[in-house]
Amino acid sequence: MRLEVIVAKTRATKAEIAAARMAQAERYAKVRAVVATGKCPTCGGVLKRNLSLTGWWQCEQLGSPVFRKDPDKASCTWQGFTE
């Protein structure tokens, strides 16, 4: 394939970019609403901020038993970004 064809196929239109930004803003708003409650929507556990990435929040029960607040409880998979 010629380079012009590849570039044309991968280049998003302004409308597509605007729609993607709007969808991302909606996802961030939903996560911010969950974070404001302080409770995990999946298991009811407490939410904590993961400082390795900006805006990353996760349930205290996420991950292997070594990283969970209560290793005897089931693992939870909820996590989200606010920014």
pTM score: 0.75
Can you give the pLDDT at residue 1?
A: 47
Closest among 73, 35, 77, 78 to 55, alpha carbons compared: 35
CA Rg, the chain, in Å? 18
More confident residue, 72 or 12: 72
The end-to-end CA distance of the chain, in Å, is 38
Can you give the pLDDT at residue 18?
A: 84
DSSP H or E stretch at residue 77: none
